[in-house]
Amino acid sequence: MANLQLNDFHDVTRPEAVAVSPDGERVAFVGRESDPEEDKRPASLFVAPADGSRDPHRLTRVSGASQPKWSPDGTRLAFVGTREEDLDQRVGRDEDDDESDDDGDDAEADEADEEESDGDSGGENGGNDEPKPQVWYFDVELGGDAVQVTDREEGVREFDWGPDGERIVVSARDPTDDQAEMLAERRDDGPIEIERLQHKANGTGWLDDVTSYLFVVDVDTGEEQRLEDAYGQGAREPIFGLQPAWGDSGRIAFASNRTDRPDDSGVMDLYTIDPDGSNLRKLTDSERRTYAYEWSPDGERIAFVSGDPDNWYRPAEICVADPGDRADDGDSAEDWSVTASLDRTVAMLTAPKWLDEETLLAAIGDEGLTRLIRAPVDRDDPDRVFSAQGRDRNALVAHAAGGTVGVVLSDPVDGIDVFALDVDDLDAAEPESLTRLSALNDELLSGIDAPQCRRVSYENADGEEIEAIVHLPPDFDPETDDPRPVIASIHGGPMSYDAPAWNFQYTYWTDQGYVVYRPNYRGSTSYGRAFAESLMGTRGDLETDDVVSGLEALADRGWADPDRSLVTGFSYGGITTANVVTRSDAFTAAAAEHGIYDFRSTFGTDDNHLWHDWEFGLPWEEPERYADISSITDVDEIETPLLVNAGDQDWRCPPTQAEQLYVSVRKQGVPAKLVIYRNEHHNVSRPERQIHRIESITEWFREHDPEHETDEDGDGA
């Protein structure tokens, strides 16, 4: 067996979404792959029979795909894709086209234009000639290439099928003529002029005043109707979208913020509207953040996720409402909750699914694990189901239809794949119907040594129990071997949690001989509201205690060598890393990634002013608090060699934060290094940059590991 190598990253495929056909016989999923030649991670669309009788069939090869959704009759599979315009829409010549010579010059010019637009699509500087995301569909009965449905200049963000299968509803930006001229000027490096309070959003860039609307589109003709009263608004709309959902009753649900100051509010209200644009109704009371709308099979009720728009530590819940109800008539989203008794949050990026008219399937965060629950809609009495998942692997996404559940399971040893089982087997300890549908990474994983993975609980300095997921080197015997070098990897959020799962960098590090532990420090979700809210209003002390106590616990077990230790984390994990090294010298070296280190100076330069205002107040009103929660205040206490990295277009944790920390540490003569990833947002997307990120952290640790040896070529021994 061999060790995982950095270039093996290109051979990893990650399933990201699943969609079960209405009859329950097929499962579509999106797989994120790697294109080394283009240095991209395109997403491809696959379909597999739910009984596992054949391997998944690839539907797309050239361009990205997301949001797979089956038509109501199951004959067509639609998705959002960024592809060249459908040939069917390009053949022939419009009557308004000018006469042109047939000397081939136009064809050569078109080919040159295509070559110049091979870069990233979209974005504030993207050219008009670049393809935009549109809705396409495959006719799975007849076969053939995908058919383009929409052709919007600014592209399409989301969509849903109408109950008749003849129309879809899409959300899309719709600029006026003046706004279109402004966008063209921006793309041509013109000035940015903004009067919005929420003036930027990570992954989107500088915002504008262009409104997103819902459009009802005829699938066959492409004819569309804009619903004038169905528009998006608010600070969270650039991130969450309008989330259109079309029920069998004919009503369309969507999200919007119609408060007095929508850019100064995290509210997302649930609205419904008729497909002709009439009968707009607001269901919620502007006190919650609602999303992931799912109509019941008969279209009489709607399920959704409801969270506190300010307090994200508070568990998000599944709610069910009758569209005839109105929160401003006395009810509220809290009255509609069917999961409040769990004291567990709905897992991020998941949505409830109806198993029948009276029952929902959902995913929750439950003590360091994403797992499935079954919730009756007439009472708050949900059950934990699918015990066959176990505590050693994580359920990333799930979908249900036609008596079948499709789920992506991530196992720290066996990798990430798509599975299916019968709804009737959800309570079985060993469900006979549980079938693995994909083997996306078997060729890679069969040739490498797999890490061991354990759950470990320990007490922090305050006597509270903290849980960590620990990955051990494949050749390590915890009972007899000497301690190994250790990496503390801290999750972001902080309203998140770590669970047993396959991850490239953890497998790479364990194959290099490191113990990796991932603490679910105070502030993490999945352990109940009180545990998460214990961090509210503070920064640094609690997380540092939980991270350092984990290092001590592993050293006491004889697994970890504290003199050969690295602490690292991304986003909030980067914030915590900086706090750890200002408060402790327990670690040999550190790597803070894409974090915030001076909360005062980041206010207004990132896209999170609402969160900071809610949790800490305004910086000019609470200067002492902002100083107290910022690691830069105690930067003179840092003696630990520190690597700092950032994306130069990160609007969540701006790169100036990394520069401040780096210069402040370097100014004191402490070993430090700054790495900036150009043209990257909060997450590093390009494969070569992701590889470089892991490599640079590993090399930094080796450089400052007192016992690490190098060979004559300078490579690790």
Q: Which two tokens stand for residue 511?
A: 């194959």
Task: State the pLDDT confidence band at 327, using cuts at 50, 70 and 90.
Answer: low
| Contact (CB, 8 A) for 571 and 594 | yes
Pairing of strands 76-81, 167-173: unpaired
User: pLDDT tens digits for 253-291?
Assistant: 999 999 999 999 999 999 999 999 999 999 999 999 999
| Contact (CB, 8 A) for 67 and 136 | no
Burial profile 319-352: b = 16 or more Cβ within 10 angstroms, e = fewer? bbbebebebeeebbbeebbbbbebebbbbeebbb
DSSP 628: H
- For residue 89, is pLDDT > 80? no
> Given CA atoms 329, 330, 332, 338 in this order, what sign does their dihedral have?
negative
Q: Which of 457, 453, 475 is nearest to 467 (CA)?
A: 457
Task: State the pLDDT confidence band at 332, using cuts at 50, 70 and 90.
Answer: low
The CA-atom distances, in angstroms, between 717 and each of 471, 491, 513, 709, 712 are 21, 29, 11, 6, 10
Instruction: Give me the pLDDT at residue 122, please.
Output: 36
Task: State the pLDDT confidence band at 716, using cuts at 50, 70 and 90.
Answer: very low
- For residue 109, is pLDDT > 50? no
* Summary mean pLDDT of the chain: 92
CA distance 256 to 241: 9
User: pLDDT tens digits for 51-75?
Assistant: 999 999 999 986 789 999 999 999 9
> Given CA atoms 56, 61, 63, 69 in this order, what sign does their dihedral have?
negative
Q: Which of 313, 319, 393, 390 is nearest to 345 (CA)?
A: 313
User: pLDDT tens digits for 529-554?
Assistant: 999 999 999 999 999 999 999 999 99
pTM listed for this prediction? 0.93
| Contact (CB, 8 A) for 673 and 643 | yes
Instruction: Give me the pLDDT at residue 708, please.
Output: 83
Task: State the pLDDT confidence band at 118, using cuts at 50, 70 and 90.
Answer: very low
Q: Which two tokens stand for residue 386?
A: 């699918």
Q: How many beta carbons lie within 10 A of that of residue 6, not counting itself?
A: 15
Instruction: Give me the pLDDT at residue 710, please.
Output: 55
The CA-atom distances, in angstroms, between 575 and each of 230, 299, 341, 533, 544 are 39, 45, 32, 18, 11
Q: Which of 218, 246, 207, 219 is nearest to 230 (CA)?
A: 246
Looking at the chain, the whole-number percentage of residues with pLDDT higher than 70 is 91
| Contact (CB, 8 A) for 544 and 584 | yes
CA distance 113 to 447: 43
Q: How many beta carbons lie within 10 A of that of residue 74, not counting itself?
A: 19
| Contact (CB, 8 A) for 682 and 239 | no
**C-alpha 485: how far from its chain's center?**
31
Instruction: Give me the pLDDT at residue 333, please.
Output: 62
Instruction: Give me the pLDDT at residue 86, please.
Output: 77
Instruction: Give me the pLDDT at residue 335, please.
Output: 83
User: pLDDT tens digits for 362-406?
Assistant: 999 999 999 999 999 998 899 999 999 999 999 999 999 999 999
Q: Which two tokens stand for residue 167?
A: 């129309």
CA distance 332 to 56: 44
The CA-atom distances, in angstroms, between 191 and each of 157, 186, 206, 537, 656 are 25, 6, 11, 38, 21
Q: Where are the beta strands (DSSP E) in 92-192?
A: 134-139, 147-148, 158-161, 167-173
Name residues whose C-beta falls within 8 Å of residue 402's C-beta, 6 or more positions apart in sequence: 20, 21, 22, 23, 24, 25
Instruction: Give me the pLDDT at residue 107, please.
Output: 32
User: pLDDT tens digits for 619-676?
Assistant: 999 999 999 999 999 999 999 999 999 999 999 999 999 999 999 999 999 999 999 9
**According to CATH, what is the number of the domain 449-703?**
3.40.50.1820
- For residue 106, is pLDDT > 50? no
Mean pLDDT of 116-141: 66
CA distance 229 to 246: 16
> Given CA atoms 639, 645, 651, 656 in this order, what sign does their dihedral have?
positive
CA distance 577 to 599: 15
CA distance 548 to 483: 17
**C-alpha 613: how far from its chain's center?**
24
Q: Which of 254, 339, 323, 327 is nearest to 291 (CA)?
A: 254
Instruction: Give me the pLDDT at residue 471, please.
Output: 98
Note if the bond before 494 is cis, omega within 30 degrees.
yes
Q: Which residue has the tokens 């396409």?
A: 136
User: pLDDT tens digits for 452-490?
Assistant: 999 999 999 999 999 999 999 999 999 999 999 999 999
| Contact (CB, 8 A) for 657 and 665 | no
**C-alpha 35: how far from its chain's center?**
21
| Contact (CB, 8 A) for 661 and 668 | no
Instruction: Give me the pLDDT at residue 346, please.
Output: 98
- For residue 102, is pLDDT > 50? no
Q: How many beta carbons lie within 10 A of that of residue 461, not counting itself?
A: 13
Q: What is the CA radius of gyration of the chain?
A: 26
Task: State the pLDDT confidence band at 709, using cuts at 50, 70 and 90.
Answer: confident
Q: Where are the beta strands (DSSP E) in 412-553?
A: 415-422, 435-436, 452-459, 465-472, 484-490, 515-520
